[in-house]
Structure 1
Amino acid sequence: MAAQAVENVAVSALRSVVLRVRQAAERSGRNPGQVRLVAVSKTKPISLIRQVYDAGHRRFGENYVQEILEKAPQLPEDMEWHFIGHLQSNKVKSLLAGVPNLALVEGVDNEKLANHLDQAVSNLGRNPLKVLVQVNTSGEESKSGVDPSGCVELAKHVKLQCPNLVLSGLMTIGMRDYTSTPENFRMLSKYRTEVCKELGMAEENFELSMGMSGDFEQAIEMGSTNVRVGSTIFGPREYPKKQPN
């Protein structure tokens, strides 16, 4: 009964977040359909994810390769999985082979990783994989992401040298205390303009993945097309032990 109550809370929270996303999109002058909500389910059990799925949500995100490899085969194939955060090159093959419905890797932060992803997609005969270049807009050493000064060159490498990848946009994580989040978001938007100009791509078709539980409405109002919301939907995360990458 207690577990069922938690699941009902998650479904209710999902509906609240969907409404807030829609309202923020409208405040930004956009159609709500232009903003994607990814429910980040790390550390959460299959039963809870399934409840959110049964409520109609299809886009989910995970941060650890081992977790997504365990969860994805136990859940419906029409779920759209996003891998978010730092991905080690030596985990690329197992991730792509084990999650056929992986739709997007949010976190390409160096050429080596891009090359490994490109080669793995080719070797596995998968359709081209959408990726986002992660930019460390806050300058925090604890965060992954290419230094802003290298953003354009990395994006160019993915676009021109990785035929099995689809460069779909940029991603960032704002400051933990959110005090300088607007600056982080403005910086990402600026680099989108630079990347699109360099590569001759249309900005309106180039994603900005920014905004999490604490700041997703502000992110949407500043142009985000993809928000990653975990604890506001699923509740506080529980870490019983150190998670593998």
Structure 2
Amino acid sequence: MGGEVATALQEVTARLAAAATRAGRDRPPRLVAVSKTKPAEAVQEAYEAGHRVFGENYVQELVDKAPQLPADCAWHFIGHLQSNKVKTLLEGVPNLAMLETVDSEKLANKLDSTVNTSGEESKYGVEPKDCVALARHIHESCKHLRLAGLMTIGMPDYSSRPENFQCLSDCRKAVAEALGLPEAELELSMGMSGDFEQAVEMGSTNVRVGSTIFGARVYKS
């Protein structure tokens, strides 16, 4: 990739650090480098530059890509997951670190019945008013899962206003109070290429950056 990915990764890391400093935070959030539609070689370049946390949106793409890369990569699945793809994902990616997009009790139950050890997960596609109920179900009824936090994709153009991020923060507060957990134990996964600096300033603990690191995505016609 001619060093372009490594250079872009360094620039994004610096921007994250600066945003964290502006917000008075001790450290920047976790950076998930999202390689959707990009080849394994691009991920390998980021890996060789020292990065270890990567994200994918599609099950088959992740299942195909993960075995081509070092086992210490920590993969986050950040796309919509269908129940019939759970086994394929969990068996195909043993180094799956987090599933950020659980949006129903049905999916949570399917995950819980498929995995054998504790995993991490959070949510996707849930109305704010339903966050507490789903979080409670995962936390209390899914013994093989660990509730990691909440996630939003923000606006359709991937650039969010403060109120979008504030909504997720409010949901985290409600979930923490309902479950008797410290807010700090629940992550806020928010911020993408177009708005990750603002997300950091609004409290994000996990940002998902793709095209700014790997370049514009190429979709098959």
TM bracket (short chain): over 0.9
- The equivalences for 1:12-91 within 5 A come to 12-32=7-27, 35-91=29-85
Give the aligned partner of residue 118 of structure 2.
Answer: 128
Partner Cα distance (2:49, 2:167) in 1: 35
Q: Which whole-Å CA distance do the structure 1 matches of 2:161 and 2:77 have between them?
A: 22
Identity of aligned residues (%): 60
Name the SS of the counterpart of 2:5 in structure 1: helix
Q: What residue in structure 1 maps to residue 126 of structure 2?
A: 146
Equivalent residue letter for 2:123: V
Q: Tell me if the contact between 2:159 and 2:192 (Cα under 8 Å) persists in the aligned partners.
A: no
In the TM superposition, what are the counterparts of 1:67-216 in structure 2 within 5 Å?
67-122=61-116, 127-134=117-124, 145-177=125-157, 181-216=161-196
Q: Which amino acid aligns with 2:89?
A: L
Distance, in Å, in 2 between the alignment partners of 1:65 and 1:179 is: 25
Deviation track 1:184-208 (CA, whole Å, cap 9, x = no partner) reads 1000000100000000111112100
2:4 is aligned to: 9
Query: Any unmatched runs of 5+ in structure 1?
Result: 135-144
Q: After the TM superposition, which segments of 4 or more aligned residues of structure 1 sit over 6 Å from their partners?
A: none
What amino acid maps onto 1:182 in structure 2?
P
Distance 1:178 1:103 in 2: 24
Q: Is the 8 A contact 1:21 1:32 kept in 2?
A: no
Query: Take 2:53 and 2:158, find their aligned partners in 1: how far apart are those partners?
Result: 25
1:176, distance to aligned residue in structure 2 (A): 2.5
Looking at structure 2, the residues matched to 19 and 180 of structure 1 have their Cα atoms a distance apart, in angstroms, of 21
Count of residue pairs the alignment pairs up: 221
| CA deviations over 1:92-141 (Å, ceiling 9, x no partner) | 0110001000000010010000001111103xxxx31100122xxxxxxx
Q: What's the secondary structure of 1:175's corresponding residue?
A: coil
Q: Quick one: which amino acid aligns to residue 232 of structure 1?
A: T
Task: Deviation per CA, 1:7-36: give whole Å up to 9, x if none.
Answer: x11110000000111111121221225x10
Per-residue CA deviations over 1:23-70 (Å, capped at 9, x if unaligned) read: 11121221225x100000010011111011000000000000000000
d(CA) in 2 for partners of 1:28 and 1:148? Answer: 25
Structure 2, unmatched stretches of 5+, are none
Aligned-partner SS, 1:32: coil
Contact kept in structure 1, 2:159 and 2:194, CA below 8 Å: no
Work out the CA distance in 2 between the residues paired with 1:148 and 1:10.
Answer: 36
- Partners of 2:111 and 2:24 in 1: how far apart? 36
